[in-house]
């Protein structure tokens, strides 16, 4: 394994071997041979990160003896007997003080849900909660509030990916493969609680476009300053409604129009055109 | 005693471009026991700044000092800070008592101490008789008080509040606003309160920090930011209804616009504009709705700042009425005495008190002083 670290450092000269995971949000951490390795996120694709998480020691989950886990990671064909649909919440919790604290944390987290089928840690930092579909399941915002509450008591930094509800059948492990990748992508996002809707665009762009020369040059062209970024994001958020967008940005409508025209002149993209706006929004992702 | 220094603080998120800061050059000294309000529209960086003080977000650049001690890298749990969040939640399966006690239990306080602290906080907040209830059996206001109670039991000298009232209805918000102000007087904690509601900022703050797009626009007492806004953003954001703005041309003591406005600027004010080199230049004129008058006496004083306008919409508010009016193509709102209420369609003579007007550079939007 030590050889692996050396190889890794050769491939990624910016990578560092550290005692504790880096708290810098720009860094990606993983554990090999009880040593934390830190790499700048920019230098890794989602696929690479996912792969690293699978092979790194801390995420080597062979020791987990749980029927649900074995089913989800294709280790067992035995389909759990649960009748209702379930969703899988994947969570990462940083800054837990001890194993006992981790147990307490999970107990409190579980207690906030109505109908939990199973919950467990898959390594020191990440875990899974499987919840039945009922009429009272928490939505993303409610989960976010709960996480904020729990983090404020435990002084932890937690992130959750809230999966969709799925029937339990042989397709679920494949779906879970995808949800795991989405969870890994969600770890880079600003909000600490995410779901398919909040992650999918970033995920697809990274998979297909981000590193292409075309995308990079276009991005460079439109990424002028923070005001422009805010304008594009606000226009997208407000469905191109100029009055709403101006209000959101606290600008006069005419000032917004002036800035949009200036942007059009500078870049050739007309933000009043729906297709141009969506493209610019995606380029800034 | 607690003093907080935010020295040229910057925040850039992981995926943002090099010079794309969510917060730029935030510089503020907070005095002991002060009630500071960060106010601004959503996305202006106010909550991010608060979260950096709490240690929930890393500081990209700059330094945070608490009582002179460098705290950038101190873990949140080691900062003596209590925080109340915008989307407050309570543990649904725990009683009010346990919700308030939970943080202390995790910190291994003994039972008696926990009981004393929770009882004390419950008494301050009027929650003593609800301690056995579960959150589902409480009203919105009571739940919010429990959220405050969870912070009070920590006995921290610094209170951070992130839009704690935004989920309450309008009436309850007014009540809780007064309760938080009272709480501040009782507990004497240094408090930083974040809101997008300028009324909350004006009524609660010792000093207001007005923010927009990650940058501090102005720091001052409520009176200062209201009476002498540093730029058009502050002028428009503080005050309800908002200040009226007119794109005008200033020449030889008169301001005119294309829409029918033609007003004489009092000598004192025109001198400032002349001295600053704005003669024969386009400027933005700002007039607060309460500085537009319908009384005849005002017209006698400022005959050349009086216009004949048409009321488009009018609202009678009891003691005052609001006249949304128009002079040709120029629209504005005036707050006048209830006696001067006019129905829509009426023609009314309105006088602009330009002694109280504000002028802004058309391009930089800075106040012309």
CATH code linked to domain A62-207: 3.30.70.270
Considering only CB atoms, B237 lies closest to which of A26, A153, A250, namely: A250
Choose, out of B11, B12, B15, the residue to mutate when testing the contact with A (most A CBs < 10 Å).
Answer: B15
| B96-108 confidence digits (pLDDT tens) | 999 999 999 999 9
The answer to whether A187 contacts chain B (CB < 8 Å) is: no
CATH number where B174 lies:
3.40.50.300
The whole domain housing B284 covers: 244-361
Verify whether the Cβ–Cβ distance B103 to A152 is below 8 Å: yes
- The ranges assigned to domains in chain A are 2-44, 62-207, 211-283
Do B199 and B305 fall into the same domain? no
What is the distance between the alpha carbons of residues A131 and B11, in angstroms, rounded to a whole number?
Answer: 37
- Dig out the tokens for B260 from the structure: 């029918």
Considering only CB atoms, A41 lies closest to which of B14, B17, B41, namely: B14
Neighbours of A275 (CB within 10 A): 9
Residue B76: closest CA among A157, A25, A192: A157
Q: Look at residues B237, B262, B280 and tell me which one is the last residue of a structural domain.
A: B237
Measured between beta carbons, the chain A residues lying within 8 angstroms of B52 are none
The answer to whether A191 contacts chain B (CB < 8 Å) is: no
The answer to whether A23 contacts chain B (CB < 8 Å) is: yes
The answer to whether B109 contacts chain A (CB < 8 Å) is: no
Do B89 and B212 fall into the same domain? yes
- Distance from the B232 Cα atom to the nearest Cα atom in chain A, whole angstroms: 10
In a domain, B296, yes or no: yes
CATH number where B343 lies:
2.40.50.140
ipTM exceeds 0.90, yes or no: no
Number of domains in chain B: 2
- pLDDT for the residue A59: 52
- pLDDT for the residue A1: 47
Do B294 and B310 fall into the same domain? yes
- Distance from the A223 Cα atom to the nearest Cα atom in chain B, whole angstroms: 8
Verify whether the Cβ–Cβ distance A226 to B20 is below 8 Å: yes
Verify whether the Cβ–Cβ distance A142 to B89 is below 8 Å: yes
Task: Give the residue ranges of chain B where pLDDT is below 50.
Answer: none
Do B98 and B176 fall into the same domain? yes
Do B173 and B301 fall into the same domain? no
List own/partner pairs for A277-281 with CB under 8 A and 24 or more apart.
A277/A232, A277/A235, A277/A236, A277/A240, A278/A236, A279/A218, A280/A222, A280/A232, A281/A232, A281/A233, A281/A235, A281/A236
- Dig out the tokens for B325 from the structure: 């009016």
In a domain, B271, yes or no: yes
Do B218 and B283 fall into the same domain? no
Verify whether the Cβ–Cβ distance A154 to B106 is below 8 Å: yes
Do B248 and B233 fall into the same domain? no
The answer to whether A227 contacts chain B (CB < 8 Å) is: yes
Peptide bond just before B72 cis, omega within 30 deg = no
Residue A188: closest CA among A66, A25, A22: A25
Q: Look at residues B173, B208, B237 and tell me which one is the last residue of a structural domain.
A: B237
What is the distance between the alpha carbons of residues B125 and A272, in angstroms, rounded to a whole number?
Answer: 51
What is the distance between the alpha carbons of residues A127 and A121, in angstroms, rounded to a whole number?
Answer: 4
Choose, out of A97, A149, A237, the residue to mutate when testing the contact with B (most B CBs < 10 Å).
Answer: A149
CATH code linked to domain A211-283: 1.10.10.2840
What is the distance between the alpha carbons of residues A95 and A91, in angstroms, rounded to a whole number?
Answer: 13
Q: Look at residues B203, B237, B271 and tell me which one is the last residue of a structural domain.
A: B237
Neighbours of B73 (CB within 10 A): 11
What is the distance between the alpha carbons of residues A173 and A220, in angstroms, rounded to a whole number?
Answer: 39
Do B229 and B294 fall into the same domain? no
Binned average pLDDT, 10 residues per bin, chain A of 285 residues = 71 77 69 74 75 62 77 89 92 90 96 94 92 94 94 93 95 94 89 93 83 83 82 92 86 87 91 91 86
């Amino acid at each position: 394994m030590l050889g692996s670290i050396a190889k890794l450092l050769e491939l990624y000269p910016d990578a560092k071997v550290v005692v504790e995971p880096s708290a810098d949000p720009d860094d990606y951490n993983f554990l090999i041979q009880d040593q934390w390795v830190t790499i700048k996120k920019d230098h890794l694709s989602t696929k690479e990160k996912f792969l690293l998480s699978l092979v790194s020691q801390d995420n080597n989950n062979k020791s987990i003896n749980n029927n649900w886990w074995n089913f989800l990671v294709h280790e067992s064909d035995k389909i759990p007997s649960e009748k209702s649909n379930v969703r899988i919440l994947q969570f990462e919790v940083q800054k837990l003080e001890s194993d006992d604290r981790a147990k307490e944390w999970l107990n409190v987290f579980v207690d906030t849900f109505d109908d939990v089928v199973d919950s467990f840690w898959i390594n020191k930092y990440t875990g899974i909660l499987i919840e039945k579909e009922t009429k009272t399941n928490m939505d993303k915002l409610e989960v976010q509030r709960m996480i904020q509450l729990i983090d404020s008591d435990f002084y932890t930094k937690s992130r959750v990916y809230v999966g969709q509800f799925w029937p339990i059948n042989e397709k679920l492990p494949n779906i879970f493969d995808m949800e795991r990748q989405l969870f890994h992508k969600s770890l880079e996002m600003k909000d600490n609680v995410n779901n398919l809707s909040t992650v999918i665009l970033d995920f697809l762009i990274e998979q297909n476009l981000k590193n292409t020369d075309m995308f990079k040059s276009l991005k460079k062209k439109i990424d002028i300053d923070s005001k422009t970024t805010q304008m594009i994001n606000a226009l997208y958020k407000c469905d191109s409604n100029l009055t709403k967008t101006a209000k959101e940005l606290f600008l006069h409508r005419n000032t917004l129009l002036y800035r949009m025209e200036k942007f059009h002149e500078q870049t050739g993209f007309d933000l009043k055109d729906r297709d141009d706006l969506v493209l610019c929004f995606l380029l800034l992702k | 005693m607690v003093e907080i220094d935010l020295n040229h603080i910057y925040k850039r998120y992981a995926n943002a471009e090099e010079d794309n800061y969510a917060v730029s050059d935030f510089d503020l000294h907070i005095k002991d026991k002060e009630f500071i309000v960060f106010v601004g529209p959503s996305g202006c960086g106010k909550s991010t700044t608060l979260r950096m003080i709490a240690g929930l977000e890393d500081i990209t650049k700059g330094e945070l000092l608490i009582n002179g001690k460098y705290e950038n890298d101190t873990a949140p749990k080691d900062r003596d800070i209590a925080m109340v969040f915008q989307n407050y939640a309570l543990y649904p399966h725990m009683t009010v008592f346990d919700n308030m006690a939970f943080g202390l239990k995790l910190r291994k306080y003994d039972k008696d101490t926990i009981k004393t602290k929770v009882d004390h906080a419950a008494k301050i907040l009027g929650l003593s008789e609800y301690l056995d209830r579960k959150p589902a059996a409480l009203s919105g206001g009571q739940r919010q008080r429990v959220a405050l109670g969870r912070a009070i039991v920590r006995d921290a000298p610094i209170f951070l509040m992130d839009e704690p009232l935004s989920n309450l209805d309008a009436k309850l918000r007014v009540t809780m606003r007064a309760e938080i102000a009272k709480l501040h007087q009782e507990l004497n904690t240094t408090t930083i309160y974040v809101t997008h509601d300028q009324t909350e900022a004006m009524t609660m703050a010792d000093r207001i920090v007005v923010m927009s797009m990650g940058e501090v626009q102005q720091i001052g007492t409520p009176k200062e930011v209201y009476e002498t806004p540093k730029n058009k953003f502050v002028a428009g954001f503080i005050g309800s209804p908002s200040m009226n703005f007119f794109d005008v041309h200033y020449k030889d003591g008169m301001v005119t616009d294309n829409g029918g406005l033609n007003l004489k600027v009092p000598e004192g004010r025109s001198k400032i504009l002349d001295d600053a080199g704005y003669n024969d230049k386009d400027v933005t004129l700002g007039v607060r709705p309460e500085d537009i008058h319908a009384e005849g006496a005002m017209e006698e004083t400022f005959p050349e700042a009086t216009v004949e306008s048409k009321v488009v919409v009018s609202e009678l508010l009891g003691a005052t009425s609001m006249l949304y009016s128009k002079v040709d193509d120029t629209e504005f709102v005036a707050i006048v005495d209830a006696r001067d209420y006019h129905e829509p369609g009426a023609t009314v003579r309105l006088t602009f008190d330009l002694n109280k007007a504000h002028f802004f550079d058309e391009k930089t939007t800075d106040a012309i002083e």
